[in-house]
Structure 1
Amino acid sequence: MMPSVMTESSDKETEAFVEVDPTCRYGRYPELLGTGAVKKVYRAFDQEEGIEVAWNQVKLRSFSNDPSMIDRLYSEVRLLRSLKNNNIIALYDVWLDKLHGTLNFITEVCTSGNLREYRKKHRQVSLKALKKWSKQILKGLHYLHSNDPCVIHRDLNCSNLFVNGNVGQVKIGDLGLAATVRKNHSAHSVLGTPEFMAPELYEEHYTELVDIYSFGMCLLELVTLEIPYSECDNVAKIYKKVSSGIKPQALGKVKDPEVKAFIENCLAESKVRPSAADLLRHPFFREIDDDENEDDNNDH
């Protein structure tokens, strides 16, 4: 049992935990931070470190008929534990609650939520700031892609990029669909968010470059404040356009030629699409390279 410093206070001043982990280190509050396809994320507190954290909870009985989904959730957690990078959400602890049929894992929490909502909230953002965000996403991808085995996110979009707005830090989260692939091999399953999926993902034969395509779509959304292919009212229409090489209408709304060319570079056919390492060296980032602080250079 973890010792804690007790103070007298009224119930109005304190918020009670609704659940604690088996070690009594982490306490969960009722406040919901977000809801994903398979999990709920709550605000929580690490009593040992004195920091707020995110308590991710998956009700396993929802997937009792789908063992592969449970395997995938476990693999996300195993994967997250091995990843240590400034631009990847950190995992602190994980446990299975057999009594309540839940898988619980504690991750770091980003103060400003996801990048999609953050960008909607702050509509006046300079191109320089967008470049700073983009470079951090690419640094996270470069870390994943240069891992051995290579980690492909496969579901990169603005709702699973997270922000610490007070310091302008962006982190990649939600690695639940990630695949690990040995060098010089390719992955073979169709998963992801249709608007952000590279054409080769549908063909079930792809490499880590699918994440670069998704990154290009993320940047397009950040620039235009429009989700790509919002002109399509169903997944079939999106698939038809993507597989025919028809770019989203939002691309035509990008006025800056340098930005448009950079996005098009990311959306190029897989055989000519640049890697994260290539893009990090791109002249697009020249103006922010000079004033980057040392923390941003910690890739590994």
Structure 2
Amino acid sequence: MYSNKQLAGAADEAKAHIGYIETDPNGRYGLFEEVLGKGAMKTVYKAIDEVLGVEVAWNQVRLNELMRSPDDLQRLYSEVHLLSTLKHDSIIRFYTSWIDVDQKTFNFITEMFTSGTLREYRKKYRRVDIRAIKSWARQILQGLVYLHSRDPPVIHRDLKCDNIFVNGHLGQVKIGDLGLAAILRGSKSAHSVIGTPEFMAPELYEEDYNELVDVYSFGMCVLEMFTCEYPYSECANPAQIYKKVTSGKLPGAFYSIQDLEAQRFIGRCLVNASKRLSAKELLLDPFLASDEVKLLSKTKLNQKPFLNETELEKLQLSDDPPRTDMTITGKLNPEDDTIFLKVQIADKDGPGRNIYFPFDILNDTPLDVAREMVKELEITDWEPFEIAKMIDEEISVLVPHWKKREWPHPEAYHTFNYEEDEDGYHHPLYSFPSCSSSQASLPGLVTYDHDWLKGQGSNNSFRFLR
């Protein structure tokens, strides 16, 4: 039998082999070293749900630190318990929790967000269309409607862009960090001053408030989405913020918003509680509703490709792009029946080139010669068989008994193998064939007084290797 120590050691080795730092008691979730975020109370790591194959967030709190503050411990338990009861697309999803007695940690698993907090995301991507901001606002409001519609209602009390999380590849935002949330019972009002000063409604300081404080905080979130700065950033300390909030003075950033509809919408969230709309009513605001209809009509009904037929015609696209201008002509020497071929290549940026080479009708084939031409002259836009066909036609004109070949259609041709065979390359571009009847006369051909073969100009070349 194995001892507990041996079993624990074997388990640790297995975790290390997989790459986990630790696993949950049931072995379903594996914790990695990568830290997703760190706050005052907890550290969030990347983890994997082995059952679903989904990446998740492993939230871990050191109990030693929490035990020093009973309030913090109570806050943590409240968050976990509340999360376990909430099921909504705009609220962070909770999976499970447990206490690790040996490590003295409290752990709970939630869904993972790929792009961090909305504040981080907005600072990273400053050029965001107003339609994206409206989409985020709608999602957050839908989450608030869900929280406030529960029986009894739930108030977040610390809503801010730092507590809203983003899946950037989906354009999805969700409300998280419900550690300060309160459940309204009985009198339907809460009585503790808690939250982040820049986002706290005036009535919070009076210790008598309801779920409308979240609507006020939501307005400040939208303000931050537009301006990319914290509300009341002009204030040096919380006391200055408190003075402005309680006297009804709006943040300086509010007046920097150029879109008047957006400014009006935010202003409706920041009025006194007696005049403030609920989250459910704000969802019906024309600022959000009208844009949603327009966006749907544009993206679903009238979406057009960027390149329409007229624009494509302007581009003058062609299936066959311009190719190298190349011609091949042949010349028969009547004295010894040797054949010379001249390849004329017109260069784009300068005078053309003339390349001369012999063709041995006894040992050479048009395709062999064409393959060597493609390789030697670095021709990339002609297939060897196309060049071979041109050579074949020239030879058939010069030699009446030459038997023309049937050449494949371009679509049927693919690639050629230029690998050297056992005997090495055998082609007149490199050497003269040993059994050619024209071999003895070829040196003379170069010096014959034929205008065609003299090669006037510096761009003429003879592909002879002695």
Tell me the TM-score normalised to structure 2 length: 0.59
Structure 1 range deviating more: 119-128 or 83-92: 119-128
1:82/1:290 Cα in 2 relative to 1: closer, same or farther (>3 Å)? farther
Give unmatched runs, 5+ long, in structure 1: 1-10, 294-300
Query: What residue in structure 2 maps to residue 74 of structure 1?
Result: 77
Residues 156-171 of structure 1 mapped to structure 2, 5 A cutoff: 156-171=159-174
Task: Verify: 1:281 aligned to 2:284, yes or no.
Answer: yes
1:270 to 268, 273, 281: 273
Alignment partners' CA distance in 2, 1:106 and 1:292: 35
Alignment partners' CA distance in 2, 1:113 and 1:35: 11
Alignment partners' CA distance in 1, 2:204 and 2:101: 36
Alignment partners' CA distance in 2, 1:75 and 1:253: 39
Alignment partners' CA distance in 2, 1:168 and 1:59: 33
Alignment partners' CA distance in 2, 1:53 and 1:240: 42
Alignment partners' CA distance in 2, 1:118 and 1:136: 16
Query: What residue in structure 2 maps to residue 249 of structure 1?
Result: 252
Query: What residue in structure 2 maps to residue 141 of structure 1?
Result: 144
Task: Verify: 1:87 aligned to 2:64, yes or no.
Answer: no
Deviations 1:146-189 (A, max 9, x none): 01110100000001101111111110000010001126510111
Moved over 6 A (4+): none
Offset of 1:63 from its aligned partner? Answer: 2.3
> Per the alignment, in what secondary structure is the counterpart of residue 190 of structure 1?
coil
Offset of 1:223 from its aligned partner? Answer: 0.3
Query: What residue in structure 1 maps to residue 217 of structure 2?
Result: 214
Alignment partners' CA distance in 2, 1:60 and 1:263: 41
Offset of 1:26 from its aligned partner? Answer: 0.5
Query: What residue in structure 2 maps to residue 3 of structure 1?
Result: none
1:38 to 36, 41, 52: 41
Alignment partners' CA distance in 2, 1:60 and 1:272: 44
Alignment partners' CA distance in 2, 1:83 and 1:35: 24
Deviations 1:108-142 (A, max 9, x none): 01111110011111111111111000000000000
Counterpart of 1:236, as a letter, is A
Query: What residue in structure 2 maps to residue 28 of structure 1?
Result: 31
Alignment partners' CA distance in 2, 1:215 and 1:15: 43
Alignment partners' CA distance in 1, 2:100 and 2:165: 27
Query: What residue in structure 2 maps to residue 132 of structure 1?
Result: 135
1:58 to 43, 56, 61: 61
Task: Verify: 1:235 aligned to 2:238, yes or no.
Answer: yes
Q: Which has the higher relative contact order, 1 or 2, with Cα contacts under 8 A spaced 6 or more apart?
A: 1
Alignment partners' CA distance in 2, 1:131 and 1:22: 42
1:209/1:183 Cα in 2 relative to 1: closer, same or farther (>3 Å)? farther
Counterpart of 2:93, as a letter, is A
1:106 to 104, 109, 118: 109
Alignment partners' CA distance in 2, 1:15 and 1:203: 54
> Per the alignment, in what secondary structure is the counterpart of residue 179 of structure 2?
coil
Query: What residue in structure 1 maps to residue 387 of structure 2?
Result: none
Give unmatched runs, 5+ long, in structure 2: 1-15, 298-466
Counterpart of 1:240, as a letter, is K
Alignment partners' CA distance in 1, 2:219 and 2:208: 20
Tell me the TM-score normalised to structure 1 length: 0.90
Asked if structure 2 preserves the Cα contact closer than 8 Å seen for 1:149 and 1:180, the reply is yes
Query: What residue in structure 1 maps to residue 352 of structure 2?
Result: none
1:292/1:56 Cα in 2 relative to 1: closer, same or farther (>3 Å)? farther
1:131/1:176 Cα in 2 relative to 1: closer, same or farther (>3 Å)? same
1:289/1:153 Cα in 2 relative to 1: closer, same or farther (>3 Å)? farther
1:292/1:167 Cα in 2 relative to 1: closer, same or farther (>3 Å)? farther
Offset of 1:220 from its aligned partner? Answer: 0.3
Task: Verify: 1:189 aligned to 2:192, yes or no.
Answer: yes
Asked if structure 2 preserves the Cα contact closer than 8 Å seen for 1:15 and 1:29, the reply is no
> Per the alignment, in what secondary structure is the counterpart of residue 84 of structure 2?
helix
1:183/1:141 Cα in 2 relative to 1: closer, same or farther (>3 Å)? farther
Alignment partners' CA distance in 2, 1:127 and 1:234: 31
Deviations 1:37-92 (A, max 9, x none): 21111111111110000000111211223222211211110100000000000000
Asked if structure 2 preserves the Cα contact closer than 8 Å seen for 1:161 and 1:170, the reply is yes
Alignment partners' CA distance in 1, 2:53 and 2:170: 20
Give the length in aligned residue pairs: 281
Offset of 1:191 from its aligned partner? Answer: 1.1
